[in-house]
Amino acid sequence: MKYTFYPGCVSRGGAPELYTSTMAVAEKLGLELEEIVGAACTGAGVLQEKGIKLGDTLNARTFAMAERMGHTTIVNICSTGQGVMAQANYRLLNTPGYLEEINEILKEEGLEYQGRVVIKHLAWVLVEEIGLDALRPLIVRPLTELHIAPFYGCYILRPSWALGIDENPGREQYLEQIIEACGGEPVNFPGRTKCCGFPILMINERNSVAMVGNHTLSAKDHGADAMVTPCPLCHLNLDGYQPKASSQKGTKINMPILHLPQLVGMAMGLSDRELGMHRHVVSTKDVMAKASVRA
Amino acid sequence: MQATLSVRRQDPESQQPSSWMQEYTVEVPEHYTVLDALIKVREEVDPSLAIRCSCRAAICGSCAVRVNGRARLACNTKLTNVTPEHGVVVVEPMGNQPVVKDLVVDLSVFWNKIRAVAPYLQPEGPEPEEEYIASNESMLLLTEVMGCIMCGACVSDCTALEVDSNFLGPAALAKAFRFTEDPRDGADADRLQSLNEYSGVWDCTRCMMCVEVCPKGVAPMDRIMALRERVMDAGMTNTVGYRHVAAFAESVEHAGWLDETMLAVKSWGMFNVPKLIAALPVGLRALKRGKLPMPAPFHKKRPGHENVARIFKRLEGQK
């Protein structure tokens, strides 16, 4: 299966293990991910504070590039990219005259967005297009010993109307379904759809770190061995700032934070090196041992 | 049909102040709402169950509760829409506000925040001889935000309030937006100044929870984002929030994508030495694991970045 691929800024910056683990898992799945060369940052919701139209134009430019490549499903591996693109596409397709106005700007680059793009996170592609029945035979190391807490965060679920949750209510449970397909036990905990704190990390670090502490401790209290997230920004905060959260809470947390493709890759028998586990701040050694993945 | 409700009970003033879940099963017609079922429970099964309601028509905003973990008006939530496969609907009091008893919370938290944004018109200049006139166009922008029924659902599920009770929160900030945008109000500068401070517009996490749970389409977070634009446009630039947006935009305009390392440095302030020193352990941990992206001038530009820059130029100043 061939898809247009939007890796986003963070998988090529602060979380390179997301990129490499995605590629390793894609190869096993037979997914051909063709990257959109020259696509801009989605704006991540921050640029949209400066002006919604600016963000929408940059995203429409990316959509037009995808259309030109011929395969109109864009695969995201970052929830924030997924959410921001979906919101932009929703406005472009549902605001009378807006698409024409944006296309006027894109014309200068010889681009035109025709409104045919579908934006899907890798989690959605796994469940809706590849199918969990096709994934199961690839699981050579079922994660039977592992209790995994799914951390959805915000952008892959809200706003629900832009993300098609009403039409596909299962999207609120895909992480649990994937964990189960990998042989693991999903852990339900109160923070699963809340904010990780990353968007205010630089503005109000105390609050941001408090969110990290609350979610990781809550997952731990509910029996999780690790958390899994579809968003690299959630990973950066929950993993990178966990030492600070530990200090703030006055207790050792030690909760490994896996990227979604790392979880799937573990179950597929990929090595910790291939999955970039050595790049985590919170050690994944215990999780790897439980999953019996060779070091 | 049979409705099973698992209700969080609590009486903080009793001998047993901690909460517990109590299950009730009642026979109800299919069209029943969560509120209808709760009233039936109170009237026929357990008169000690405390609930608050009035209009039963999604107008008064009295009956907001959490249904299956999400804030909703009990009166416009049909049971059939929220009954999961296992058949038990979980009803709990709203979050971020202290419980008075069972499903009734103390709304003083909510009202104190609303009061803090001076939720009334403060006209300037001499009083007009007749009424203050506002054009239809100017009020159109406010129709949705004026639809707020003060139910507190957004405050209940606000993820920023959960960790910081000082945050003004979505309802109060949406109310503040309603007055800053009103052409009859003359206190914009003071309002924006105060909203630009700690616990104001920059402490929102942009999690969209308030947008999702609001039963009236007020979209509080969108108003908060609009207020961020207003404070920036008003020249209030000496905040991390402003520098974060400016550095983000500068990076994308220049290279087509984000320079994460410089974004952090510029947001905190290039010469904010104490902060930069405090961030060193995090930076070193990232560096050790190959997770500290090379900052400018080593940050590579994306192919076609000049087209991105052109879009920035073309849309400069446009909202």
A159/B206 Cβ within 8 A: no
Decide: helix, strand or coil at residue B167: coil
With a cut of 90, say whether residue B163 has pLDDT above it.
Answer: yes
**pLDDT of A62-90, one tens digit each?**
999 999 999 889 999 999 999 999 999 99
- For residue A222, the model assigns a pLDDT of 98
Query: Are B217 and B254 found together in one domain?
Result: no
What is the pTM (predicted TM-score) of this model? 0.95
Residue that is last in its domain, among B211, B233, B255: B233
Please check whether residues B164 and B253 belong to one and the same domain. Answer: no
Angstrom CA distances, A109 to A88, A105, A208, B255, stand at 20, 8, 40, 17
Of B72, B69, B78, the residue nearest B28 (C-alpha):
B78
Same domain as B121, residue B98: no
* CA-to-CA dists, residue B225 to A164, B195, B219, angstroms: 23, 12, 10
Indicate if the pLDDT at residue A295 is higher than 50.
Answer: no
For residue A64, the cross-strand partners are none
Contact flag A14-B252 (C-beta cutoff 8 Å): no
Cβ-Cβ contacts under 8 Å, B239 against chain A: 203
Mutate to test the interface with B, among A195, A231, A283 (most CBs of B within 10 A): A195
Structural domain ending residue among the three candidates B233, B268, B294: B233
A198: closest CA of chain B, how far (Å): 8
Same domain, B79 and B130: no
Residues B227 and B266 in one domain: no
Helix axes of A232-240 and B280-288: crossing angle, nearest 10 degrees: 110
- Asked whether residue B219 falls in the same domain as residue B256, the answer is no
Residue B319: pLDDT band with limits 50, 70, 90: low
Per-residue pLDDT of B68-114, as tens digits, reads 999 999 999 999 999 998 999 999 999 999 999 999 999 999 999 99
Portion of chain B with pLDDT greater than 70, in percent:
100
Residues B190-225: tens digit of each pLDDT: 999 999 999 999 999 999 999 999 999 999 999 999
Mean pLDDT for B218-236 is 96
A chain contacts of residue B163, beta-carbon cutoff 8 Å: 197, 207, 210-211, 214
Note whether B249 contacts A15, CB cutoff 8 Å.
no
Domain's final residue, options B105, B133, B159 = B105
Q: Is B113 in the same domain as B227? A: yes
Domain that holds residue B290: 240-318
**Mean pLDDT value of segment B146-160:** 98
The CATH number given to whatever domain includes residue B229 is 1.10.1060.10
B96 and B121 belong to one structural domain:
no
Assess whether B78 and B130 both reside in one domain: no
Is the pLDDT at A18 greater than 50, yes or no? yes
Q: Give A187 to chain B, closest Cα distance, Å.
A: 16
Are B92 and B125 contained in the same domain? Answer: no
CB-based contact B164 A204, cutoff 8 Å: yes
Nearest to A158 among B198, B212, B291 (CB): B212
Tell me the average pLDDT of chain A.
Answer: 96
What number is the average pLDDT over the span A105-125?
A: 97
What domain count does chain B have?
3
Q: What is the DSSP letter of B312?
A: H
Q: Could you tell me which chain B residue has the CA closest to the CA of A62?
A: B308
- Contact in structure between A103 and A113 (CB atoms under 8 Å): yes
- Taking contacts as CB-CB distances below 8 angstroms, the residues of chain B near A199 are 205-207
Within 10 Å of residue B106's Cβ, how many Cβ atoms?
13
**pLDDT at residue B316 in the model:** 83
Mutate to test the interface with A, among B163, B164, B262, B300 (most CBs of A within 10 A): B163
- Average pLDDT for residues A133-144, to the nearest whole number? 96
Q: Is the pLDDT of residue A293 over 50?
A: no
Would you call A31 helix, strand, or coil by DSSP? coil
β-bridge partners, A120: A75
Considering the domain architecture, whether residues B124 and B97 belong to the same structural domain is answered as no
Q: Is the pLDDT of residue B7 over 90?
A: yes
Per-residue pLDDT tens over the stretch B127-138: 888 888 889 998
Determine, for residues B232 and A50 on separate chains, whether the beta-carbon distance falls below 8 Å.
Answer: yes
B183 and B294 assigned to the same domain? no
Nearest by CB to B160, from A47, A207, A240: name it: A207
Nearest CA in chain B to A194: B159
DSSP for A246-268?
HHHHTS-----EEEHHHHHHHHT
Mutate to test the interface with A, among B197, B248, B252 (most CBs of A within 10 A): B252
CB pairs under 8 A between A and B: 172
Neighbours of B96 (CB within 10 A): 21
Q: Strand B64-67 relative to strand B70-73: parallel, antiparallel, unpaired? A: antiparallel
B264 CB neighbours in chain A (<8 A) are 202
How far is residue B129's CA from residue A6's CA, in Å, rounded to a whole number? 60
Query: Which of the four pLDDT bands, split at 50, 70 and 90, describes residue A154?
Result: very high
pLDDT for position B131: 86
> What average pLDDT does the structure give for chain B?
95
A246: burial class by Cβ within 10 Å (0-12, 13-18, 19+)?
A: buried
pLDDT at A294 over 50: no
Which CATH number characterizes residue B21's domain? 3.10.20.30
Confidence bin at A104 (pLDDT 50/70/90): very high
